[in-house]
């Protein structure tokens, strides 16, 4: 039995007739750029997420980049974020000439620790600080109440990285609806994934939505009239057609991820492998199912022998990456550094079966037993 991290083929075959029809209709309509599916998808996504505006984009990295630009963040500014995330979060900050300020994480949720944020601000001040980018890592919301309180107190903007948390909530409110912007990725393996690259920002501010719409389309509101330097960063019509089919199933997909995670956690109880910690603030939508273990290498090897995939998200904290380490010499973030040595993500996707979960866990137990 082969068990991949995510089985996109299984899902495609389940919804194939509807996807194929949607794609063929988009091909027939031949309105490939900013066509009707893009428009409808943006309306449907905004309604689903409980926000006023959704603006679709070329990918999630661009969502972060254009959100920062539209928020007026640039050269010499500082943006607080987590060192325990995909590189894109920090890359976007670097694109606009600002500096990522990394603060340590909560060892249980792996999300940025608001207390560490406050400590940093007390020690260094906020003269250059302009924004916070919390990441809702693995599908569990960062602790938004204290984060929003810090932002308010110090007049910082909040741009949420929701690439892993589509449909997840914090105290009944969707991730992505707290800050100026929510930034989403539709990379194929994300909770809501298209069949190529795609991304989106959400916002409740009509002016910010307008700004991003201009930035994604060469700085232009009226065709061939350009008021700012923009980008070519649009979601294409075929991807939008696919996303509309999948959006209708998002609630169920997330519930199935959550159910599968809970099956894993129950079976892993008392084994020495630490299942993910749920802080109880909202629904964890389990983009990743990530355990902590001191036997990581041996587990990876045993799983691989059985044809079971596993992955480390993320093996190197951002302040230790080659691209950033020169600028962060002497920065010590002990929790992130320790956690990056212990985390292991196991296969998780809506269509994963109980039998497969049992197989993964029993294989892990052969190592620990
Ligand atoms: C996937 C991801 C991104 C980037 O999304 P792309 O669509 O691949 O550009 C950004 N942040 C996080 C946390 C991600 O997981």
Contact indicator for 230, 219 with CB cutoff of 8 Å: yes
Q: How far apart are CA 81 and CA 94, in angstroms?
A: 12
The rounded average pLDDT for each run of 10 residues, N- to C-terminus, in the chain (369 residues) is 95 98 98 97 98 98 98 98 98 98 98 98 96 98 98 98 98 97 98 98 98 96 92 98 98 98 97 96 98 97 98 98 97 98 98 98 92
CA of 134 to the centre of ligand 1 (A): 13
Atom of ligand 1 nearest to the CA of 59: 7
Residue nearest (by alpha carbon) to ligand 1 atom 14: 163
Nearest CA among 87, 132, 131, 84 for reference residue 111: 84
For ligand 1, say whether the CB of 67 is within 6 Å of any of its atoms: no
pTM higher than 0.85:
yes
The pLDDT tens digits for 180-218 are 999 999 999 999 999 999 999 999 999 999 999 999 999
For ligand 1, say whether the CB of 161 is within 6 Å of any of its atoms: yes
Residue nearest (by alpha carbon) to ligand 1 atom 5: 60
Contact indicator for 161, 189 with CB cutoff of 8 Å: no
pLDDT of residue 121: 96
CA of 198 to the centre of ligand 1 (A): 10
Atom of ligand 1 nearest to the CA of 185: 7
**Residue whose token pair is 């495609």:** 12
Residue ranges of alpha helices (H) inside 131-229 are: 144-154, 206-216
Nearest CA among 185, 194, 145 for reference residue 165: 185
Atom of ligand 1 nearest to the CA of 199: 7
Q: How far apart are CA 345 and CA 311, in angstroms?
A: 5
HSE-up (13 A, CA, CB side) for residue 193: 19
For ligand 1, say whether the CB of 258 is within 6 Å of any of its atoms: no
For ligand 1, say whether the CB of 160 is within 6 Å of any of its atoms: no
- Cα three-residue angle 24-165-342, rounded to 5 degrees: 120
Residue nearest (by alpha carbon) to ligand 1 atom 10: 88
CA of 39 to the centre of ligand 1 (A): 23
44 three-class SS: helix
CA of 87 to the centre of ligand 1 (A): 8
For ligand 1, say whether the CB of 194 is within 6 Å of any of its atoms: no
Residue ranges of alpha helices (H) inside 217-307 are: 237-247, 250-268, 296-305
pLDDT of residue 1: 80
Residue nearest (by alpha carbon) to ligand 1 atom 6: 60
Q: How far apart are CA 224 and CA 218, in angstroms?
A: 9
pLDDT of residue 213: 97
CA of 158 to the centre of ligand 1 (A): 17
For ligand 1, say whether the CB of 55 is within 6 Å of any of its atoms: no
Atom of ligand 1 nearest to the CA of 88: 10
């Amino acid at each position: 039995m082969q068990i991949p991290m995510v089985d996109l083929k299984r899902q495609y075959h389940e919804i194939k007739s509807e996807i194929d029809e949607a794609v063929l209709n988009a091909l027939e309509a031949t309105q490939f750029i900013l066509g009707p599916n893009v428009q409808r998808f943006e309306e449907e996504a905004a309604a689903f997420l409980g926000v006023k505006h959704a603006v679709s984009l070329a990918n999630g990295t661009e969502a972060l980049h254009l959100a920062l630009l539209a928020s007026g963040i640039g050269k010499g500014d500082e943006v607080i974020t987590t060192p325990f995330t995909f590189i894109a979060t920090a890359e976007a900050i670097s694109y606009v000439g600002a500096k990522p300020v990394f603060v340590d994480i909560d060892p249980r949720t792996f999300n940025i620790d608001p207390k560490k944020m406050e400590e940093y601000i007390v020690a260094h001040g906020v003269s250059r600080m302009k924004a916070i980018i919390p990441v809702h890592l693995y599908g569990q919301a960062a602790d938004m109440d204290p984060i929003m309180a810090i932002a308010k107190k110090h007049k910082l903007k909040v741009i949420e990285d929701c690439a892993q948390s589509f449909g997840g909530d914090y105290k009944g409110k969707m991730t992505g609806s707290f800050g100026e912007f929510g930034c989403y990725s539709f990379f194929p393996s994300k909770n809501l994934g298209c069949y190529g690259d795609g991304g989106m920002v959400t916002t409740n501010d009509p002016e910010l939505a307008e700004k991003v719409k201009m930035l994604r389309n060469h700085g232009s509101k009226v065709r061939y009239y350009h008021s700012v330097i923009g980008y070519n960063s649009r979601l294409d019509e075929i991807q939008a057609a696919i996303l509309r089919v999948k959006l209708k199933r998002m609630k169920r997909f997330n519930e199935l991820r959550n159910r599968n995670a809970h099956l894993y956690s129950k079976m892993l109880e008392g084994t020495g492998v630490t299942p993910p910690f749920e802080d109880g603030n909202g629904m964890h939508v389990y983009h990743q199912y990530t355990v902590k273990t001191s036997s990581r290498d041996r587990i990876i090897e045993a799983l691989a022998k059985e044809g079971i995939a596993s992955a480390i998200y993320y093996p190197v904290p951002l302040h230790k990456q080659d691209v950033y380490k020169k600028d962060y010499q002497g920065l010590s973030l002990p929790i992130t550094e320790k956690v990056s040595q212990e985390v292991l993500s196991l296969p998780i996707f809506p269509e994963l079966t109980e039998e497969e979960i049992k197989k993964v866990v029993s294989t892990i137990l052969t190592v620990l037993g």
